[in-house]
Amino acid sequence: MDSLPGTEALAARAEQMAALFGSRAVGVATGSVDRVHEANDEMLRILGRTRADLAEGISWMDVGRPADAERDTRAFDHLRRDGSSVVVKELVRPDGEGVPALAILAATGRGPLRWVAVVVDLSGDERLKHLAWSEAAIVSTLLEDAPIGFAFIGPDLRFVRVNRELAAMNGFTVAEHDGAGVFDLLPDLREGAEPLLRAVLDRGIPVRDAEIVGTTPAEPGVTHTWLESFFPVRTAHGPVLGVAAIARDVTRVRSLQDELAATSLRLSRALHEMQETLQPAVLPGADGYSVAFRHLPADAEVGLGGDWYDVVRTAEGHLVASIGDVVGHGVEAIGDMARASSSLRAYVSEGHSPDRALGHLDTLLGSTGTSMATAAVMSVDPATGEVCLARAGHPYPLVVSTDGSVRTLDGASGPMLGALPGSRFTTAELVLRPGDTVVLFTDGLVERRGESPAASAARLAQALSAGADLGVEELADLVLDRCLLPGLRRDDACLLLVRRDA
């Protein structure tokens, strides 16, 4: 009967693998994940292990120096990703003796990872020579084919060797670089590069990713930007023989980064302007009452939120103050804020009480299923000072008295708007005494990363108490000064003060 297709080839491969396992020239092992399952005699000799050790289990990660653990991990990651990996490492025998070895691993399966390894003992002189030859060949290949510029520069700052990529950057042939002074060829780069080269030669410390700006004869008059790294080249424990320089032309990248930054700045300004135009610039008041507000948008467009504030004078003469915060940041949050604040203003203007106004807004936001918000709505009867407050997941307002005492206007409750269908909102009432100030705010005014809510609340209360005898405008400024950190604001901050004047 004829052989099935591929059967002879499979048999030949099995014979080849068996021959490889029987070889005394190289170590051969198979395993899965990081465990060695099979090993030939040469492999066990290299490892200094026995068949009994193999039966008990040998981990590839345990036969190297601890300092090589990270490199071994990367080698196995490479093996999983690409199917093969080559590593030169020192294998450590149980008695502590190290054996330099070249290991070539190939994946035979990936679920879980299975592999076969061929290991060459490099401790003999001939093998070390072979390794040196191989490394030289690898370096030469990298020099010629790498898409980055490379140069070896002598201690006299003359080119010893360059690759074609760097020669093209500089505008000279490879041969024209040989023995030429670096800054004889590239005088425009002397100011930026010479101090770095001399520092590497003098101190033997590498310089990474230095930005060098200038021109070369490759494109006269055209300014380029290079990202360059300089490394000292030395023999073992010997003096620095020169500098290895690696250069990447990042001119186009920097240009794109500048364009992106300019576009981001324009977008940020447009978003800030849009957010400001959607907020009222002037708020109504009433005889015997003072109103002050502050709105500080986030400093970056990614942090721009949906904070809003508003005061409406109803047909009955009541002052209705509201404040809110739409969940999210950016353009979408600003749009949701405009819809929520304008809708709430309409409900209030129609004469709805604070709790019913929040109920209508909750239904509106819930019907879209795309936005949620917190809010507080407070109605004040100017004639009597009677206050009716409703809340939807928003921070409790505070009441500041003329004696500096600060109390929380609690009692009103309700979930975040748009979060739960059919939500109900309860109210809280109080009567403002002459000199009392109601303080409404958003969380961006008080919250700080890594700080407890209690500490944030205490800081706001202390600021209000300290400024109780100030006018509402001065009190608002004091609160901002005490509560907001200088520098970049990551979130919007709103503050709304309503005072019954004495």
The answer on pLDDT for 2 being more than 50 is no
**Mean pLDDT value of segment 36-59:** 91
The confidence score (pLDDT) of residue 303 equals 44
The confidence score (pLDDT) of residue 90 equals 84
**CATH top class, domain 7-129:** alpha beta
**Mean pLDDT value of segment 125-132:** 52
* In this structure, CATH architecture of domain 146-249: 2-Layer Sandwich (3.30)
Q: How many CB atoms lie within 10 A of CB 404?
A: 13
**Mean pLDDT value of segment 174-197:** 93
Residue 487 or residue 151, greater confidence: 151
Q: Would you say 351 and 379 are in contact if contact means Cβ atoms under 8 Å apart?
A: no
- Token pair belonging to 161: 């060797």
The answer on pLDDT for 121 being more than 90 is no
Q: Would you say 402 and 438 are in contact if contact means Cβ atoms under 8 Å apart?
A: no
- Return the CATH number of the domain spanning residue range 270-500: 3.60.40.10
The answer on pLDDT for 1 being more than 70 is no
The answer on pLDDT for 4 being more than 50 is no
Residue 231 or residue 145, greater confidence: 231
CA atoms of 62 and 36, how far apart (whole Å): 11
The answer on pLDDT for 302 being more than 60 is no
Greatest CA span in the chain, whole angstroms?
113
According to DSSP, the residues that pair with 228 across neighbouring strands are 210, 247
Helix (H) or strand (E) holding 2: none
Q: Domain ranges in the chain?
A: 7-129, 146-249, 270-500
Q: Would you say 483 and 423 are in contact if contact means Cβ atoms under 8 Å apart?
A: no
**Mean pLDDT value of segment 144-152:** 79
pLDDT digits (tens, 9 = 90+) for 354-379: 999 999 999 988 877 667 899 999 99
Q: Would you say 320 and 312 are in contact if contact means Cβ atoms under 8 Å apart?
A: yes
pLDDT digits (tens, 9 = 90+) for 472-486: 999 999 999 999 887
Report the percent of the chain where pLDDT is more than 90: 42
**Mean pLDDT value of segment 241-262:** 84
* Fold agreement between 146-249 and 270-500: no
The confidence score (pLDDT) of residue 20 equals 76
The confidence score (pLDDT) of residue 459 equals 93
CA distances from 304 to 106, 340, 493 (A): 52, 16, 10
User: What's the gap between Cα 356 and its chain centre?
Assistant: 43
Alpha helices in 239-353 (DSSP H): 251-277, 331-349
User: At 311, is the pLDDT very low, low, confident or very high (cuts 50, 70, 90)?
Assistant: very high
The answer on pLDDT for 134 being more than 70 is no
CA atoms of 357 and 372, how far apart (whole Å): 15
Residue 73 or residue 193, greater confidence: 193
Q: Is the pTM of this model over 0.85?
A: no
User: At 136, is the pLDDT very low, low, confident or very high (cuts 50, 70, 90)?
Assistant: low
The confidence score (pLDDT) of residue 277 equals 59
**Mean pLDDT value of segment 450-462:** 91
Helix (H) or strand (E) holding 233: strand 224-234
pLDDT digits (tens, 9 = 90+) for 62-106: 888 887 788 788 888 888 887 888 877 888 899 888 888 888 888
Closest CA to 326 of 275, 269, 378, 267: 275
Helix (H) or strand (E) holding 491: none
The answer on pLDDT for 267 being more than 50 is yes
**Mean pLDDT value of segment 246-266:** 80
